Amino acid sequence: MKLFLDTEFNGFNGRLISMALVPEDKTKPEFYVELEIRDQLHPWVRDNVVPHLVLNPCSYNEFQNKLANYLWDTGECTIVADWPDDIRHFCESLITGPGMMISFMHNVKFELDLGIEYVSLVPHNALHDARAIRDFYIKREANNEIQ
């Protein structure tokens, strides 16, 4: 199964603010979590990301538990992202300590697709952006099969 990933974070090299994983199959559940913001917000993030948050944040440990459960239920998957930092934040989220990671017992592959051009219904909201990434990807793949 393909999962389309988007994240929001607090400026360049900033902490993760939210993460969304949207399955290719629209009948499957989506994953969206917002994290507690502990740092001073980058002005661009304050003006462009925060207004689109649901504002139901959780701790980083709660986030990792939710992510582990989602991945466990999903099974083997390919994570598709349009930006390297999204994959970096996803991978960092798997790490719980020195030599330790969340347990989900399935293979995860990654696809960095820099050719994704999407328009989100709610720009700079990870869930809406991940949906738009999925929709663009599926439409492009369908068009390639027709040709």
Q: What is the pLDDT of residues 37-83, one digit of tens each?
A: 999 999 999 999 999 999 899 999 999 999 999 999 999 999 999 99
Q: What is the residue range of 96's domain?
A: 2-146
Residue 80 host element (H or E): strand 77-81
pLDDT of amino acid 99: 95
Contact 12, 45 (CB under 8 A): no
Three-state secondary structure call for residue 41: coil
Instruction: State the pLDDT at residue 122.
Output: 97
Supply the pLDDT for residue 17: 98
Question: The domain that contains 134 carries what CATH number?
Answer: 3.30.420.10
Ordered DSSP codes for 67-93: HHHHHHHH-SEEEEESSHHHHHHHHHH
Domain count, the chain: 1
Confidence (pLDDT) at 104: 81
pLDDT at 58 (0 to 100): 97
> In this predicted structure, what is the pLDDT of residue 102?
92
- Dig out the tokens for 116 from the structure: 């994704």
pLDDT digits (tens, 9 = 90+) for 81-114: 999 999 999 999 999 999 999 988 889 999 999 9
